[in-house]
């Protein structure tokens, strides 16, 4: 009697499984790409390795302890320490992003900052409020000032004269005195030396109608430069006193002296020092050979001295002119000079 055939065990084949999975052997290796701070790092571990083995390899290679590691695995999410012994073969992706700081970065952040020598050697000072803008002072300076600067256009280099007048207007001492006495002057202008020079005297300054117009003798008699700044400023103090007193009486001279002291004291820029020789010069000028004025003008008449008569206005024929008339006169003289220049060039 024939023995039955031996039973055959079915060997699994890939044909029986529509989606076979390759199970790596123990002697194979797994390659992973770890991205850290934008730089890729390749790791090759045995197929039996787990997340714990990968974490230890990262510590060996990048010097990042496991406690500081966070692994972002696509389709799996963020893995945080302590890690589970998950086999690397089960990871859905072999490209992993490492979120961690290096020891040097951690040390730089946690290290105490050293104070500078100046700060460490001196005690901390209490906070003080910042300086606020003095709006009242700014408003007063805009009110009590010389509202128009007028250089004579028919004299050489009128722009230079305008800068001289601007320096007087912006002089810290002059500004302080103007604010204190509430002086407001319509026009500050220069005078033509030739029109205010006689055999007997040289006029240095004039005040018309108590501050409507103040004229100053800026230029030298030869028109080759400008007179000493301090002399001109002292003359301006004299003329400002005529805003209050017309006659040269005791009250006038007391006010003039007070204004001069206030200007010197209020000028924090070294007591109103003269500017360089390039701008204004004639260091020998002391103003001793001329008289400041014949008194304050009022309605075209000298209040005191000078022999002036009402409406005469002195040698230049401009006495008693108000601000508008003075500016119109300057424009007229400028047009005449331009006409003479054009006529000379056309001949």
Omega within 30 of 0 (cis) for the link into 84: no
- Report how far residue 188's alpha carbon sits from residue 211's, in angstroms, rounded to the nearest whole number: 9
HSE on the CB side for 342, CA within 13 Å?
Answer: 6
The total of other beta-carbon atoms located within 10 Å of residue 28's CB is: 12
Q: What angle do CA 329, 330, 333 make, to 5 degrees?
A: 85
The CB-based long-range contact list for 324-332 (8 Å cut-off, 24+ gap) reads: 326/150, 326/187, 326/189, 326/213, 327/148, 327/150, 327/187, 330/150, 330/152, 330/153, 330/189, 331/153
Is 239 a residue of the active site? yes
With CA atoms as reference, report the closest residue to 185 among 137, 130, 136, 144: 144
User: Which one, of 73, 64, 76, 65, lies nearest residue 96 by Cα?
Assistant: 73
Q: Which one from 239, 332, 333, 342 is the annotated catalytic residue?
A: 239
The answer to whether 306 touches 314, Cβ cutoff 8 Å, is: yes
What are the residues whose beta carbons fall under 8 Å from the beta carbon of 37, sequence distance 6 or more? none
CA distances from 164 to 130, 273, 275, 280, 281 (A): 35, 14, 10, 8, 11
Instruction: Give the angle 155-164-289 at the CA atoms, nearest 5°.
Output: 75
Nearest-angstrom CA–CA distance, 290 and 316? 17
Selection from 89, 216, 123 nearest residue 164 by Cα: 216
CA distances from 343 to 13, 153, 216, 338, 347 (A): 120, 18, 32, 9, 6
Q: Residue 70: how many CB atoms within 10 A of its CB?
A: 12
Known catalytic residues are: 239
């Amino acid at each position: 009697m024939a023995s039955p055939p031996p039973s055959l065990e079915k060997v699994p084949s890939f044909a029986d499984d529509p989606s076979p999975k390759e199970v790596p052997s123990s002697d194979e290796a797994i390659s992973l790409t770890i991205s850290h701070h934008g730089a890729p790092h390749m790791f090759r571990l045995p197929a039996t390795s787990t997340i714990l083995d990968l974490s230890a390899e990262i510590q060996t290679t990048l010097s990042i302890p496991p406690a500081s590691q966070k692994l972002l695995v696509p389709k799996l999410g963020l893995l945080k320490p302590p890690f589970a012994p998950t086999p690397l073969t089960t990871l859905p992706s072999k490209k992993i992003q490492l979120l961690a700081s290096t020891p040097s970065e951690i040390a730089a952040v946690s290290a105490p900052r050293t104070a500078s020598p100046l700060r460490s050697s001196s005690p901390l000072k209490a906070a003080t409020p910042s300086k606020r803008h003095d709006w009242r002072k700014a408003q007063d300076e805009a009110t009590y000032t010389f509202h128009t600067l007028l250089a004579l256009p028919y004299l050489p280099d009128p722009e230079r004269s305008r800068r001289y007048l601007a320096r007087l207007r912006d002089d810290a001492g002059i500004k302080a005195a103007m604010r204190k006495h509430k002086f407001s002057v319509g026009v500050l202008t220069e005078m033509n030396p030739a029109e205010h020079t006689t055999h007997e005297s040289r006029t240095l300054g004039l005040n018309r109608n108590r501050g409507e117009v103040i004229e100053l003798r800026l230029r030298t008699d030869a028109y080759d430069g400008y007179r000493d700044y301090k002399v001109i400023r002292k003359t301006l103090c004299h003329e400002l006193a005529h805003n209050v007193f017309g006659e040269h009486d005791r009250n006038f001279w007391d006010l003039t002296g007070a204004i001069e002291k206030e200007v010197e004291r209020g000028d924090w820029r070294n007591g109103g020092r003269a500017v360089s020789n390039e701008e204004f010069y004639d260091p020998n000028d002391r103003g001793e050979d001329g008289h400041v004025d014949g008194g304050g003008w009022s309605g075209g008449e000298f209040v005191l001295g000078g022999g002036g008569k009402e409406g005469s206005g002195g040698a230049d024929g401009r006495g008693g002119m108000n601000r508008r008339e003075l500016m119109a006169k300057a424009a007229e003289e400028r047009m005449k000079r331009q006409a003479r220049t054009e006529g000379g060039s056309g001949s």
